Amino acid sequence: MKIRYLPIDDRNNLRVLRHSTDDTVNEAILCSIFKRPYYTLQVLWEYHKWFLELTPAQLEQHPELAFGLCHILIMAGELERAKQVIATMQPDSYYQVMARLNMPGNTLKTAVELVELMRRNGWTAQGQQLTAGRPGILNGLWDYTPGAERLAENRDAAIEQLNFLFPENGDVIYDIMLAEHLYQKNECYDALVLTVGKIPTLKQRQDMRILFAALTLEVYILVLNGQSTATIPMIHNLREQIIENGLEEYTPNLDALEAWAAMYDGDYAYVTKWMREQAPDEYGRFCMLDLFRYMIKMRAYIISGKDMAVTALAQRLLPLLEQGNRFMDLCELHMLWAMSEHSAGRTDSALEHLGCCLALSEKYRYDRLLADEGKRICELLRLYEKRHGADAYCKRVKELAQKTAELHPRYLKKQLPKKPELTETELKVLRFLADGSSNTQISEQTGMAVETAKVHCKHIFDKLEVKNRRQAVFKAIEYGIIEPIQAGAMLSQP
Q: What is the pLDDT at residue 486? A: 57
Residues 17-43: what's their mean pLDDT?
63
Count of CA atoms in the C-beta half-sphere (13 A) of 205: 19
Instruction: Tell me how far apart the alpha carbons of residues 178 and 35 are, in angstroms, rounded to a whole number.
Output: 33
Q: Which of 451, 180, 207, 416 is nearest to 307 (CA)?
A: 416
| pLDDT greater than 70 at residue 1 | no
Instruction: Tell me how far apart the alpha carbons of residues 78 and 190 are, in angstroms, rounded to a whole number.
Output: 39
Tens digit of pLDDT for each residue in 188-202?
999 999 999 998 888
Q: What is the pLDDT at residue 37? A: 57
Q: What is the pLDDT at residue 485? A: 55
| pLDDT greater than 60 at residue 24 | no
Tens digit of pLDDT for each residue in 269-278?
889 899 988 9
Tens digit of pLDDT for each residue in 318-329?
998 998 889 999
Q: What is the pLDDT at residue 5? A: 29
Q: Which of 108, 180, 176, 177 is nearest to 146 (CA)?
A: 108
Q: What is the pLDDT at residue 15? A: 40
Instruction: Tell me how far apart the alpha carbons of residues 438 and 454 are, in angstroms, rounded to a whole number.
Output: 10
- How deeply is 379 buried, as exposed, middle or buried, from its count of CB atoms within 10 A (0-12, 13-18, 19+)? middle
Strand partners, 24: 21
Least confident of 72-76, 102-106, 179-183, 457-461: 102-106
Spacing of C-alpha 25 from chain mean position: 29
Contact 404, 374 (CB under 8 A): yes
Q: What is the pLDDT at residue 313? A: 94
| pLDDT greater than 60 at residue 342 | yes
Tens digit of pLDDT for each residue in 123-160?
887 666 778 778 899 998 888 899 888 888 889 988 98
Contact 353, 335 (CB under 8 A): yes
Residues 21-35: what's their mean pLDDT?
66
Least confident of 312-316, 476-480, 490-494: 490-494
DSSP one-letter string for 445-472: HH---HHHHHHHHHHHHHHHT-SSHHHH
Least confident of 20-29, 158-167, 279-288, 346-355: 20-29
Instruction: Tell me how far apart the alpha carbons of residues 483 and 279 are, in angstroms, rounded to a whole number.
Output: 22
pTM of the prediction? 0.80
Count of CA atoms in the C-beta half-sphere (13 A) of 81: 14
Instruction: Tell me how far apart the alpha carbons of residues 383 and 345 are, in angstroms, rounded to a whole number.
Output: 13
Least confident of 104-113, 133-142, 178-187, 254-263: 104-113
Instruction: Tell me how far apart the alpha carbons of residues 387 and 176 are, in angstroms, rounded to a whole number.
Output: 39
| pLDDT greater than 70 at residue 492 | no
| pLDDT greater than 70 at residue 433 | yes
Instruction: Tell me how far apart the alpha carbons of residues 173 and 195 are, in angstroms, rounded to a whole number.
Output: 10
| pLDDT greater than 50 at residue 480 | yes
Q: Strand, helix or coil at 126?
A: coil
Q: What is the pLDDT at residue 377? A: 96
